[in-house]
Amino acid sequence: MTDPDLLRRGELSLHGRLVAASNGTFQGSVSLDGESATVVYKPVQGERPLWDFPDGTLAEREYAAYVVSEALGWSVVPPTLLRDGPLGEGMVQLWIDEAELPAGETELVDIVPQGRVPKGWVGVLDALDGRHNPVTLVHAEIDALRRMAVFDAVVNNADRKGGHVLNPGDGRVFGVDHGVTFNADDKLRTVLWGWAGEPIPGELLDDVRKLADQLAGQLGADLCELITTVELTATRERCAALLKTGIFPYPSDDWPAIPWPAF
């Protein structure tokens, strides 16, 4: 993985804007001492205000999600930091190239004809596609996505789209776009509901327990530079709830369960 010093100190140059993003998002590169890496840069000044995330910045929440991912030891989020750039302070994150899939293989989150959930996959939602054909939203039944589902529950991710699940093809799976996380209200919205109500593997609960201990100490103090104390308290409460129930959470009745669009 790229040296964090390269992300922190490298000269940041912009290649172009990602026009599909709802906030100012740029692809660029960082270069230092003959090394370079492709990155995503999201300047704070390019953020659109959100009524339900009035405190702090989306960039700070993105970085806070990375901090929690590292504290868990899961590396769900690509290397991320806050730094200055051509358009001011923002979030800089290592760009993850997805693998070109062999013929017949699909992404880790997909749409299949209704009633045809492949072996090794989990059905999430039955619906109609744009041509009114019955389809099922599915995701792969793999440990990397189980970790991501628990991570999303911890950080209260309100936007886990299928397109935010990246597969570089080397056994790792990364999640991106964590600007709408850590809200004090239950806003979990994800395409990874396939295990709702099932037991969380014990090793994942052990990691959540260790995280909860850290949140009561220096890690919590560090996160309060990025999110509010109320949001930190809510994060600790979510950890406690996962440890108490020991199961993957169910969707809330008070909030849309699936992000739209789902990809």
Classify residue 128: in a domain, yes or no.
no
Classify residue 213: in a domain, yes or no.
yes
Classify residue 105: in a domain, yes or no.
no
Q: Which domain holds residue 152?
A: 4-99+141-248
C-alpha torsion 84→85→88→91, nearest 10 = -70
DSSP per-residue letters across 60-114? HHHHHHHHHHHHHT---SPSEEEE--TTSSEEEEE--PPPPPPTT---SEEEEET
Classify residue 255: in a domain, yes or no.
no
Cα–Cα distance for residue pair 27/230, rounded to 1 Å: 33
Classify residue 263: in a domain, yes or no.
no
Count: domains in the chain:
1
Q: List CB contacts of 220: < 8 A, sequence separation 6 or more.
A: 214, 232, 236
Burial of 188 (0-12, 13-18, 19+ CB in 10 A): buried
- Number of H helices and E strands in the chain, helices first, is 6, 10
CA 141 to chain centre: 18
Q: What is the pTM of this model?
A: 0.94
Classify residue 115: in a domain, yes or no.
no
pLDDT per residue as tens, the chain (263 positions): 567 889 999 999 999 988 777 788 999 999 998 899 999 999 999 999 898 898 999 999 999 999 999 999 999 999 999 999 999 999 999 999 888 766 556 689 999 999 889 899 999 998 888 888 899 999 999 999 999 999 999 999 999 999 999 998 888 999 999 999 999 999 999 999 999 999 999 999 999 999 999 999 999 999 999 999 999 999 999 999 999 999 999 998 888 899 888 78
User: Strand, coil or helix: what is 174?
Assistant: strand
Classify residue 90: in a domain, yes or no.
yes
Instruction: State the CB neighbour count (10 A cutoff) for residue 68.
Output: 25
Classify residue 191: in a domain, yes or no.
yes
Is the Cβ–Cβ distance between 30 and 37 less than 8 Å? Answer: yes
Q: What is the pLDDT of residue 182?
A: 97
Give backbone dihedrals phi and psi of 38, rounded to 5 degrees, phi first. Answer: -80, 140
